[in-house]
Every structure is written in C-alpha cells, then in structure tokens.
C-alpha cells in the first residue's frame, strides 16, 4: 500500500480581486507584464494573493502545497521571460490552447535569475512543511523558446537544462520539484532528441535534493494519444523519483506504459481535470487512483502523488477552489490497491 499524497502541479489562477487590481497596476499590454523588477504595490498584491492560495491549500487539506506561480504571466516560459540574456518578443500561442505567451528569445549566455527561488522563499513562511516547487521541464522550455545564441538545438537544450539546474540549486526548504513537460507529448522528441531530453531532465533533477516529478500531460496529437514509448523509456533513465501521468487525457495509454516498461519508484497520477469546470467528487477521484494502481499490478509504488492533471490557471477561481477541496479531502477516503 503506497503512501498517497495530495498535490498539484501548480500554476494557479489569480484570485478575482487580484485579476482586477493587477490589471490596473500592470496594464493589459505586452509591455506591462512581469519583468522581475516590479514596484512595491505590485509586489504587495502578489504577496497577498500568494498567502491566500497557500492558505487555500492548507485549508483544503492538501499534503503538498505549491507557491501558486501567480506572477507567471508567461505560464511556462516565465523563468526565461525574467532572465537576463533573453528578449521577449511577439505574442505566440501555447500549443492548441487559447492562451498566449511572450516568445522568449535567448540572445546571450543564460544565467539563473533566482526569481523562482525568491518566490518559494516568500511562500515558505506560510507553510509548516511540504512545500513543492514548480519549473518548466528543460525539453518544454527549450521547445517554447527561440535561440539566437547557442546555434543548434542540442546545445540550446543543454544550456536551458543548465539554466534550470542553476535555478533549482537556489531553492531552499523544498520537498518536491515538479518539472512540467507537456512538450514531450505535444511536440515529441524524435530519435536522438528523446535521449537528450532525458539527459536534460536528469541534469535539472541532479541539481536538487528534492524529490523530482517529471510531470507529463495532454494527449499526443503527433502519436497515438499517449506518451511515445521510446520517449518514455528514455525518461525512465533520468534520475527522477516519479513520472507524472495525465490520467484524465489517457488512462489506458498511461497504464500500458507502466506495465510495458516499468516505472519509477514513485508516481504522480493526474486524476482531477484541471481544464474543465465539472467538479469531481472525492470518491470518484479515489476510484481513479485505485483503478490505476489495480491496473498496474507489476508496479510497487512507494509514494503516489494524487494530483490535478494540468496546471489550473485554465479554470475560473471558484471552480479551482472546489477542485482543491475535492483533492484535499482524498486522504479521508480509503485507497486500496
């Protein structure tokens, strides 16, 4: 019987009051977004919002809290958007969603900014224990960015991995690190690149003492709907503690991979839908966890992170809060395998 911990992969919606207040303080245009040197009023608004979303998680009973990443205007590309040696240019679309980000263009040697670490430090004061950090995975971040400095995709991926590793080295008091890797499904690496993607994840994971979850989500439009088998097999070579699966998008494909190729000692199961306002009840979520464990009989997981499948900024605040409560109540339901 594994230990089941309720958690989320971060990237929360701003509370409604903060949507209005920060739009007023920062403006709605490209030039008004986070740059890393915002003024006092903006810092204060984010501080208040951060405390609220950390408290929400505590009140909901989540085992592992995240900072919320409320400052991330560019939802996955944020660490690059605030880094030196990066210019943000046109507005481009995130995958097939109706969400956009400023294209980060790397124009010089990348160096960690410490921005994410500072956010975690600010959040740690509101959490007794069990703080989780969130970063884009190196493959995803390199996929979303443009390179005008390193010259080829191999060097660029390695540089992005080093950059994220240097960010992670600055994290203190972090129990778990979620590396978000949707690009492994949305634009899967081919031969050779799949191995390099794994090495890049390994480089980031090796830079921290925290448990590392490489969290994958969405269905692959380029493949058969699941994480590509070779990509998955290579991912298992990285020094990570858990692979994260999107059970909402593809539960059968995910269990097939686990049964066919094995898995890490721990696993993250995305069992709550982060992109739909239909709120699951806790019993239904528990059944999804149980179904996954009973359909992967060869695996003997030590820790299961029961999570929302994707970041949650897609949701209106009210439904987001209800989903946190559903997930947080999971420990009240017996999960057997």
Partner 1 sequence: MSNRPADNREQFRPEDHENDNFLLTTVVGSYKKPKWLDRARELYEDPEDGFGDEEWEEAKDDAARLITDEHERSDLDVVVDGEMRRKEMVEYFAHLIDGYEFNGRVKVWGHNYFDKPSVADEVEYGEEWLVDEYEFTSDVADSPVKVPITGPYTLANWTFNEAYDTDEELAYDLAELVNTEIERLVDAGARYIQIDEPALATTPDDHAIVGECLERIVADIPEEVRIGLHVCYGDYSRIYPEVLDYPVDELDLELTNGDYEQIDVFTEPEFTLDLALGVVDNHTAEVESVAEIKENIKQGFKVVPPEQLTISPDCGLKLLPREIAYEKMANMVQAAREVEAELDAGEIDVGYAAPEVSADD
Q: Return residues touching partner 1 (CB under 8 A).
A: 13-14, 16, 19, 22-23, 26-30, 32-33, 73, 75, 91, 93, 96-101, 221, 275-278, 313-319
Query: CB 16 → partner 1: shortest distance, Å?
Result: 7
Nearer to partner 1, 74 or 162 (CB): 74
Query: CB 257 → partner 1: shortest distance, Å?
Result: 23
Integer Cα distance of 265 and 240 in angstroms = 9
Nearer to partner 1, 138 or 274 (CB): 274
Query: CB 222 → partner 1: shortest distance, Å?
Result: 10
Query: CB 26 → partner 1: shortest distance, Å?
Result: 6
Q: What angle do CA 132, 215, 199 make, to 5 degrees?
A: 105
Nearer to partner 1, 155 or 318 (CB): 318
Query: CB 101 → partner 1: shortest distance, Å?
Result: 7
Integer Cα distance of 134 and 312 in angstroms = 13
Q: Are 51 and 65 in contact (CB under 8 A)?
A: no
* CA dist 221 → 58, 102, 104, 178, 249 (Å): 36, 24, 24, 23, 12
Q: Are 217 and 310 in contact (CB under 8 A)?
A: yes
| Strand ranges for the chain from DSSP E | 3-7, 65-66, 86-93, 100-106, 131-136, 146-147, 176-180, 211-215, 242-246, 266-272, 303-308
| Strand ranges for 191-235 from DSSP E | 211-215
Residue linked to tokens 């898995």: 263
Query: CB 233 → partner 1: shortest distance, Å?
Result: 26
Which residues 6+ apart lie within 8 Å of 243 measured at CB? Answer: 213, 214, 215, 216, 232, 235, 236, 263, 264, 267, 268
From 57, 3, 70, select the one nearest 306 (Cα to Cα): 3
Which residues 6+ apart lie within 8 Å of 171 measured at CB? Answer: 116, 117, 120, 133, 177, 208, 210
Nearer to partner 1, 211 or 280 (CB): 280
Query: CB 319 → partner 1: shortest distance, Å?
Result: 5
Tokens representing residue 49 in the block:
């919002």
Nearer to partner 1, 162 or 250 (CB): 250
Helix ranges restricted to H, 5-97: 16-26, 40-60, 78-81
Query: CB 32 → partner 1: shortest distance, Å?
Result: 7
Nearer to partner 1, 27 or 190 (CB): 27
Nearer to partner 1, 14 or 165 (CB): 14
Nearer to partner 1, 219 or 265 (CB): 219
């Amino acid at each position: 019987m594994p230990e089941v911990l309720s958690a989320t992969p971060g990237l929360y919606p701003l509370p409604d009051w903060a949507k209005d207040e920060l739009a007023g303080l920062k403006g709605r245009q490209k030039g008004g977004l986070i740059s890393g040197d915002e003024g006092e009023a903006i810092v204060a608004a984010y501080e208040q919002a951060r405390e609220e979303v950390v408290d929400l998680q505590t009140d909901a009973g989540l085992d592992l809290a995240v900072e919320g990443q409320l400052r991330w205007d560019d939802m996955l590309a944020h660490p690059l958007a605030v880094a030196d040696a990066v210019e943000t240019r046109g507005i481009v679309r995130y995958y097939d969603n109706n969400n956009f980000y400023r294209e980060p263009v790397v124009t010089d040697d990348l160096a960690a900014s410490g921005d994410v670490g500072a956010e975690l430090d600010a959040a740690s004061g509101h959490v007794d224990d069990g703080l989780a950090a969130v970063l884009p995975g190196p493959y995803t971040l390199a996929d979303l960015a443009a390179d005008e400095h390193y010259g080829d995709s191999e060097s660029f991926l390695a540089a992005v991995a080093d950059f994220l590793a240097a960010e992670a080295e600055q994290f203190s008091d972090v129990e778990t690190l979620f590396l978000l890797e949707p690009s492994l499904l949305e634009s899967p690496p081919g031969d050779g690149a799949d191995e390099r993607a794994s090495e890049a994840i390994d480089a980031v994971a090796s830079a921290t003492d925290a448990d590392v979850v490489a969290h994958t989500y969405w269905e692959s439009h380029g493949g058969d709907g699941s994480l590509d088998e070779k990509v998955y097999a290579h991912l298992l070579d990285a020094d990570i503690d858990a692979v994260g699966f999107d059970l909402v998008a593809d539960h059968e494909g995910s269990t097939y991979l686990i049964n066919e190729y094995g898995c890490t000692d721990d696993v993250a199961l995305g069992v709550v839908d982060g992109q739909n306002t239909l709120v699951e009840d806790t019993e239904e979520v528990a059944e999804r966890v149980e179904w996954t464990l009973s359909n992967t009989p060869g695996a003997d997981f030590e820790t299961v992170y029961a999570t929302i499948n994707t970041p949650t900024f897609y949701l209106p605040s009210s439904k987001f809060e209800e989903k946190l409560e559903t997930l947080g109540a999971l420990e009240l339901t017996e999960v057997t395998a």
